[in-house]
Structure 1
Amino acid sequence: MFNKEILLQELTFKAVRSSGAGGQHVNKVASKVELQFDLLNTFVFNEEQKVRLKNKLQHRLTKDDILILQCDESRSQHKNKDLVIKRFLDLIENSLKVPKKRIPTRIPKAVIRKRLKNKRNLSEKKANRKKPDID
């Protein structure tokens, strides 16, 4: 499919300070990890795969076609880096999957006959509830 080792070498990481409440420690430690991936200048994917990724990830890409993912779930920068890499690889794999073409199923003739027979029976039952027409 694609070479993960080469793909991981093309990623750029930036460690920034996490937002939110914390304490003295959070103000001086950059534990949040930001991953950036340049989709246009990658050598891992061919043109067809790049187009597919661009279409699937269009709401996540910047104007320069750069994918940015962030993770600040853990207090550890290393854990956050591992988490964001795993998230990135899952996102790429899911975006490259080609969905199966749906083949519409045919309704068997026996099923159609059964449905029409039930409709006819129900209609006769309702017709029998009416008062007889005496003329």
Structure 2
Amino acid sequence: MVAMSGPHVIRGSVSLPEAELMWRFSRSSGPGGQHVNTTDSQVELRFDLASTKALPEVWRARALERLAGRLADGVITVRASEHRSQWRNREAAAVRLAALLAEATAPPPRPRRPTRIPRGINERRLREKKQRAETKRGRTGRDWQ
């Protein structure tokens, strides 16, 4: 098996270990003429998230929780078949998996700190509402005849 173009970094110094990636190839559908009938260009990349040692424990737990709907027995699967070349599909699948794991292992956002609306802004809003109401009230058909 030929090595990929480089380690696919998830975040910081953590990257996808090539030894833990399981590749499967099959014939892809779509255009390609006679070439598509002979080449296994569709790529299915599987990564065992439940038993990996490549991710810190906190990241792994966070990813398992966030990706629970996509996991099958703790394994996440990514497919790529948009390119005609198996090599480019391999690259696309690895990049997609790295991006998915980066998003799933990201720390939760900081809680929103509630703020008060300044009095001046609220007063101006109410003043503009009254002005608008006066304008509309002046449009009644009583005085037009």
Query: Taking structure 2 as the reference length, what is the TM-score of the superposition?
Result: 0.71
Work out the percentage of aligned pairs sharing the same amino acid: 35
Query: Does 2:74 correspond to 1:81?
Result: no
Per-residue CA deviation, residues 25-75 of structure 1 (Å, 9 max, x unaligned), is: 22221111110000111001233212211222222211x011011111111
Q: Which residue in 2 is equivalent to 1:50?
A: 60
Query: What are the within-5 Å matches in structure 2 for residues 111-126 of structure 1?
Result: 111-118=121-128
Q: Which residue in 2 is equivalent to 1:36?
A: 46
Q: Which residue in 1 is equivalent to 2:35?
A: 25
| 1:120–1:9 distance in 2 versus 1, CA, 3 Å | same
Query: Does 2:80 correspond to 1:71?
Result: yes
Deviation at 1:16, TM superposition (A): 1.2
Q: Which residue in 2 is equivalent to 1:3?
A: 14
Regions of 4+ moved over 4 Å? 116-126
Check conservation: 1:71, 1:83, Cα contact below 8 A: yes
List gaps (5 residues or longer) in structure 2.
1-11, 141-145
Over aligned residues, Cα RMSD in angstroms? 2.7
Equivalent residue pairs, number = 127
Check conservation: 1:34, 1:69, Cα contact below 8 A: yes
Q: Distance in 1 between matches of 2:92 and 2:127?
A: 59
